[in-house]
Amino acid sequence: MATNITWHPSLSRDERTQLRHQAGLTIWLTGLSASGKSTIATALEQHLLHQGLNAYRLDGDNIRFGLNKNLGFSQDDRVENIRRIGEVAKLFADSCTIAVTSFISPYRADRDLARTLHSETAQGSIDKPIPFIEVWIDCPVEECEKRDPKGLYKKAREGIIKDFTGISAPYEEPLKPELHIRSDKESTEESVARITKYLVENGYIPSAGKTSS
Amino acid sequence: MATNITWHPSLSRDERTQLRHQAGLTIWLTGLSASGKSTIATALEQHLLHQGLNAYRLDGDNIRFGLNKNLGFSQDDRVENIRRIGEVAKLFADSCTIAVTSFISPYRADRDLARTLHSETAQGSIDKPIPFIEVWIDCPVEECEKRDPKGLYKKAREGIIKDFTGISAPYEEPLKPELHIRSDKESTEESVARITKYLVENGYIPSAGKTSS
């Protein structure tokens, strides 16, 4: 019954990558509310899955009401929110999945913390740092406010929502994002194609993709 | 450039399972320190990977110094520790990975909370609950104390470590674990074979496994 089970005390990420035929990484989307982050993240996730790669999206839907449901809107909680998302994305990337995060993440320091976590490896580990790709989903606030699919900008203007990014709280633009997408000028499909092209050109995914079905 | 990108606004877990050719679930190992949890988890993870399935282990090495590094040993922190692990395992299972968790998790209420999280799905979601397989790695405390690879039982006896599970803090045995493994009587290979057999018999993984290489 116990035949054919081979294992050794630890498993390096390189070995896992060989077994999974895929390397993990984190694609960190940042941008204003209604800039199109979630739409692009959803389309990107599906495009990668269709290529036979494992990808998983972390966003408000599966994080806010789960892992981070005990966090509020204080400064400390805001930092902890992004820290936890960074740590979980890192775990997914370590498991050879492409983690796609979709959060406003308006502060440079928070995004830089998430990036730094990815560059840290356990003491004594032979694993290399995990790639962290920051993608700025850039859409002028006027355009976001015009879209306003959830009526949040309206509430922010009326003062019903306080500290709303782009209206009454700052959005600190990325200084050196790996990719800068103008989502008011590029379609969702074009945005996904640009991100995919970047991944191929940097050797993160195969050029043709594997056919999964 | 943007050709051949097809997507729709959301992706159900069923669709993901089709694309990945694999369903996700959580295998929750619980047992005393030195009972053999980590060894079995490591061997199980590798055995599943060798079958071409995605599996990922959550344990002290990647959780304690990462996601949960801001938690201490208070009652509240202990509960929060297991809650976060439960939430992250659920995310992995949702991504069609087999999550294998390896933590003492000595309290029934904490393990039951992790199980309950897996049975909850987002409001309006068509997704089914995620399977949660509790595996009791059962080894008499006398045997664990004899093994004592890290000298922790000795320190607990000397009072250097307070509230040590099995010595000065309770271990609440699982009442209805899906699997009960006597790790003082079964080898690691036998334990992994038994867990694998359970997964096959319950339709969670294919019987022969896919060949990955």
Q: Cα dihedral angle (B8, B10, B16, B17), rounded to 10 degrees? A: -120
Predicted TM-score (pTM) of this structure: 0.94
pLDDT in the model for residue B7 = 83
Which residues of chain B are within 8 Å of residue A54 when distances are taken between CB atoms? 20, 54, 95-97
Q: Is A105 one of the catalytic residues?
A: yes
For an interface test with A, which of B10, B16, B39, B46 has the most A Cβ atoms less than 10 Å from its Cβ?
A: B46
pLDDT in tens, A97-137: 999 999 999 999 999 999 999 998 766 677 889 999 999 99
pLDDT in tens, B114-133: 999 999 876 667 788 999 99
CB-based contact (8 Å) between B17 and chain A?
A: no
Its CATH class, for the domain covering A22-201, is alpha beta
Residue B52's Cβ-side half-sphere holds a number of Cα atoms within 13 Å equal to 12
User: Which residues lie across from B153 on neighbouring strands?
Assistant: none
CB B6 within 8 Å of CB A48: no
- Partner-chain residue, chosen from A49, A66, A70, that has the shortest CB–CB distance to B19: A49
CB-based contact (8 Å) between B200 and chain A?
A: no
Q: Enumerate residues 6+ apart whose C-beta is below 8 A from A123.
A: none
Sequence ranges of the domains in chain B: 20-201
pLDDT mean over A46-62: 94
Q: Is the pLDDT of residue A154 over 80?
A: yes
Contacts 24+ apart (CB under 8 A), A112-121: A113/A79, A113/A82, A113/A83, A113/A86, A114/A26, A114/A28, A114/A82, A114/A83, A114/A85, A114/A86, A114/A89, A115/A28, A115/A86, A117/A83, A117/A86, A117/A87, A117/A90, A117/B66, A118/A26, A118/A86, A118/A89, A118/A90, A118/A93
Kindly name the residue from A38, A102, A105, A191 that is annotated as catalytic. A105
Fold of B20-201: Rossmann fold (3.40.50)
Q: Is the pLDDT of residue B193 over 50?
A: yes
pLDDT in tens, B147-168: 999 999 999 999 999 999 999 9
Which residues of chain B are within 8 Å of residue A2 when distances are taken between CB atoms? 187, 189-190, 192-193
Q: Is A182 exposed, middle or buried (0-12, 13-18, 19+ CB in 10 A)?
A: middle
CA-closest candidate to residue A29, choices A5, A3, A54, A59: A59
Which residues of chain A are within 8 Å of residue B61 when distances are taken between CB atoms? 122
- In chain B, whose CA is at the least distance from the CA of A212? B19
CA-closest candidate to residue B63, choices B41, B85, B46: B85
CB contact under 8 A, A2 and B58: no
Round to whole Å and give the CA distance between A62 and A66.
Answer: 6
Q: Catalytic residue numbers of B?
A: 105
Token pair 């309206």 is found at A154
pLDDT in tens, A131-142: 999 999 999 999
